[in-house]
């Protein structure tokens, strides 16, 4: 019998669930609250269908990028009309409210995060208690790891990484467009800085990915024969040490960017202009 299927034979025979004395529940419970709140917010915003673009300053929320609904082509806010449809409009206006405007990118971003090594650890602990923490027995009787469907699909993470790189390029373009002044020329506002900070953090998260580290430095027998890849691998390895932090910080930066654009686009606040 495989050791995977016989946890009772491989685990320490102790009478208690765990011998840990620290408050090991804090991490899974905190993660559960943060992730659930984020998913609720992101779902509501993705289907909201409004307050996603500020034509005057070219601010597009990352939750709607690339903006593919017909509505994206002509958005009016505060007497300014502009287009957020940089990559075409494949979705008819009638799908507003039940298909997110960023219908192409959001599924890949969701799958990218869902299969991320950091997030796996977090939600296996918080939602499935499998296991809830190190050295704490899980309630499940059987453990098959990621050897069967659907968890076998976690192995597709490297392909979702490629999609995430493409989407990060789109987000980068959105941030570049946000250097737009009210007279149509160059300008910088608080929204520009928030969108740029968000995209820098998104790149840090994407490039610190374990799959990225393997892509740049894996399958080599001699680093000395591949100095460029070795140098890249060193850079990615440094970022990789902070991958979990980037995973969490980008949840916050995405919400901050979206919320700011939503508040300005809805007329709730005015953009703080730093230049033009």
What are the tokens at 152?
Answer: 């076998």
| Shortest distance in whole angstroms from residue 181 CB to ligand FES | 35
Quote the least distance from Cβ 156 to ligand FES, whole Å: 11
Q: Which is nearer to ligand FES, 48 or 118 (CB)?
A: 118
Residues making up the chain, counted from first to last: 276
| Cβ proximity to ligand FES, 252 vs 267, nearer residue | 252
Residue whose CB is less far from ligand FES, 29 or 162:
162
The distance between the two most distant Cα atoms of the chain, rounded to a whole number of Å, is 73
Nearer to ligand FES, 42 or 67 (CB): 42
Tokens of residue 166, six digits: 């493409």
Contact residues: ligand FES, CB under 6 A: 116-118, 157, 161, 209-211, 243
| Cα–Cα dist 229/248, whole Å | 28
Answer whether 144's CB lies under 8 Å from 4's CB. yes
Contact 30, 125 (CB under 8 A): no
Please, what is the minimum distance in Å from the beta carbon of residue 56 to ligand FES? 35
Q: What is the DSSP letter of 66?
A: S
We find the least distance from the C-beta atom of residue 235 to ligand FES, in angstroms, to be: 16
Cβ contacts of residue 41 below 8 Å, gap of 6+?
255
């Amino acid at each position: 019998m495989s050791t995977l299927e016989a946890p009772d034979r491989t685990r320490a025979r102790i009478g208690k669930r765990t011998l840990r004395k620290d408050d090991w529940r804090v991490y899974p419970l905190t993660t559960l609250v943060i992730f659930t709140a984020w998913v609720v917010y992101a779902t509501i915003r993705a289907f909201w269908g409004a307050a996603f673009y500020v034509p005057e300053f070219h601010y597009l929320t990352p939750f709607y990028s690339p903006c593919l609904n017909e509505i994206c082509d002509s958005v009016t806010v505060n007497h300014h009309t502009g287009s957020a449809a940089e990559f075409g409009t494949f979705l008819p206006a009638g799908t507003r409210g039940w298909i997110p405007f960023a219908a192409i990118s959001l599924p890949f971003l969701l799958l990218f995060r869902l299969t991320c090594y950091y997030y796996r650890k977090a939600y296996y602990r918080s939602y499935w208690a499998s296991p809830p923490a190190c050295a704490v027995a899980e309630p499940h009787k059987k453990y098959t790891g990621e050897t069967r469907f659907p968890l076998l699909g976690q192995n597709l993470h490297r392909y979702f990484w490629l999609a995430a790189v493409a989407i990060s390029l789109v987000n980068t373009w959105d941030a570049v467009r946000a250097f737009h002044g009210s007279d149509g020329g160059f300008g910088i506002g608080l929204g520009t800085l928030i969108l740029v900070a968000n995209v820098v953090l998104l790149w840090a998260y994407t490039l610190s990915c374990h799959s990225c580290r393997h892509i740049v430095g894996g399958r080599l027998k001699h680093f000395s024969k591949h100095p460029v890849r070795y140098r890249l691998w060193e850079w990615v390895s440094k970022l990789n040490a902070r991958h979990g932090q980037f995973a969490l910080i980008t949840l916050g930066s995405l919400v901050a960017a979206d919320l700011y654009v939503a508040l300005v686009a809805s007329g709730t606040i005015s953009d703080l202009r730093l230049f033009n």
